[in-house]
C-alpha cells in the first residue's frame, strides 16, 4: 500500500492483511540499500499472527519516493511521520542495521509512540570501512559485492536456504544492485555518522530486544556490547552460524524471537 507522508509517497507491505485497529502494530525498518522484501520471511507471518504489519520502504528506498535524509534522526522522524499519517498512536519498531539505528533513535526520542524496539544486526557506533565507503561513493558494483559477501556468514555462502530453491547470495545482490544511485553510500554514511545511540539508550522506555548473528562481519556482536550494556532489562538472542542477513539466513529463528518478544 502507498501512503502520502509529507507530500512523499511511501510504500509499506502489509503482509497480505487489512489494518485492524484492535491489533497491535509492527513497523519493519530495513537496512541500507535494502527494501521491504528483506522482511518477506517475517512480515507475512506476523500479519497472520495477531499484528498489523507495515514493512516500509524507507523514504528514498524501493517503491517509496523522496530523498534519503541526512541523518538517522531524520530517518526516524520520517517513520514517526508515517505513523502520524496512518493515525497510529504507537507501534513496535523492528529494525535491521540502518533500520535498527533508526528504531533506536525513534524509541529514544518518541517514547510514547514506540511500544517495543527490536534491533537486528546492530552495532554502535556503526563503523564503516573506508574502502567500502569509497566504493559505495563511486557507485562501484564492487561495493554491492563487498556488502553481500560480508553480510553472509561463510556457511550461508554455500547456501542451504530455508526457502526451497532460493540462492541467498544472488537474491541479496539483486536487491542492493537495484537500490539506485548513491543509495548505499547515503545509507552507510548516515549509519557511520549517527552519534545519538547512547542518549537514545538512556531515554529508552520501551522493552528492547537485540537479535545478533554470531558470525556477522558487518556489525560484529562485540561492537554492539556497549549499547547492550547501556539498556537496562534488554534481551539478546544470538543466532548461531548467522551473518548480517539474519532475516533470511535464520528466518525461522527471527520469527520465533519476534513472536516470543512481541
The residue ranges that bind another protein (CB under 8 A) are: 13, 16, 35, 37, 40-41, 44-45, 47-49, 63, 129, 131-132, 142, 145-146, 148-149, 155, 157-167, 169-171, 174-175, 177-178, 251-252, 255
Q: How far is the CB of 43 from another protein (least distance, A)?
A: 9
Copy the grid coordinates of residue 213: 548473528
The 10 Å Cβ neighbour count of residue 253 is 18
Nearest residue (CB) to another protein, 3 versus 230: 3
Nearest residue (CB) to another protein, 42 versus 102: 42
Copy the grid coordinates of residue 122: 546492530
Q: How far is the CB of 125 from another protein (least distance, A)?
A: 17
Nearest residue (CB) to another protein, 35 versus 77: 35
H/E segment holding residue 120: strand 114-120
Q: List b or e across 21-44, with b for residues whose CB sees 16 or more CB atoms inside 10 angstroms.
A: eeeebbbbbbbbbbbbbbbbbbbb
Using only C-alpha atoms, what is the Rg of the chain? Answer: 17
Copy the grid coordinates of residue 25: 502494530
Q: How far is the CB of 165 from another protein (least distance, A)?
A: 4
Closest to 94 (Cα-Cα) out of 34, 26, 163: 26
**Helices 141-151 and 130-137, interaxial angle, to 10°?**
140
Nearest residue (CB) to another protein, 178 versus 205: 178
Q: How far is the CB of 173 from another protein (least distance, A)?
A: 8
Q: How far is the CB of 219 from another protein (least distance, A)?
A: 15
The 10 Å Cβ neighbour count of residue 192 is 15
Nearest residue (CB) to another protein, 93 versus 175: 175
H/E segment holding residue 143: helix 141-151
Residue 13: strand pairing partners: 55
Q: How far is the CB of 214 from another protein (least distance, A)?
A: 16
Nearest residue (CB) to another protein, 167 versus 214: 167
Amino acid at each position: 500500500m502507498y501512503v502520502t507522508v509529507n507530500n512523499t509517497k511511501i510504500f509499506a507491505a502489509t503482509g497480505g492483511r487489512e489494518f485492524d485497529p484492535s491489533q497491535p502494530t509492527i513497523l519493519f525498518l530495513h537496512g541500507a540499500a535494502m527494501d521491504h522484501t528483506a522482511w518477506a520471511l517475517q512480515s507475512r507471518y506476523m500479519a497472520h499472527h495477531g499484528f498489523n504489519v507495515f514493512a516500509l520502504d524507507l523514504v528514498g528506498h524501493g517503491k517509496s519516493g523522496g530523498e534519503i535524509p541526512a541523518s538517522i534522526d531524520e530517518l526516524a522522524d520520517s517513520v514517526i511521520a508515517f505513523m502520524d499519517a496512518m493515525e497510529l498512536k504507537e507501534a513496535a519498531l523492528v529494525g535491521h542495521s540502518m533500520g535498527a539505528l533508526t528504531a533506536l533513535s525513534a524509541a529514544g526520542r518518541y517514547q510514547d509512540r514506540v511500544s517495543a524496539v527490536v534491533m537486528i544486526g546492530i552495532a554502535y557506533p556503526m563503523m564503516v570501512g573506508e574502502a567500502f565507503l569509497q566504493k559505495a561513493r563511486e557507485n562501484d558494483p564492487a561495493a554491492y559485492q563487498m556488502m553481500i559477501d560480508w553480510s553472509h556468514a561463510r556457511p550461508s555462502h554455500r547456501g542451504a536456504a530455508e526457502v526451497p530453491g532460493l540462492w541467498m547470495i544472488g537474491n541479496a545482490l539483486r536487491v542492493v544492485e537495484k537500490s539506485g544511485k548513491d543509495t548505499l553510500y547515503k545509507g552507510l554514511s548516515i549509519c557511520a555518522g549517527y552519534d545519538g545511540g547512547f542518549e537514545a539508550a538512556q531515554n529508552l522506555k520501551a522493552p528492547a530486544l537485540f537479535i545478533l548473528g554470531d558470525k556477522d562481519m558487518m556489525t560484529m556482536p562485540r561492537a554492539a556490547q556497549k549499547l547492550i550494556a547501556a539498556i537496562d532489562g534488554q534481551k539478546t538472542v544470538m543466532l548461531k552460524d548467522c551473518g548480517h542477513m539474519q532475516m533470511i539466513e535464520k528466518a525461522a529463528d527471527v520469527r520465533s524471537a519476534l513472536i516470543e518478544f512481541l
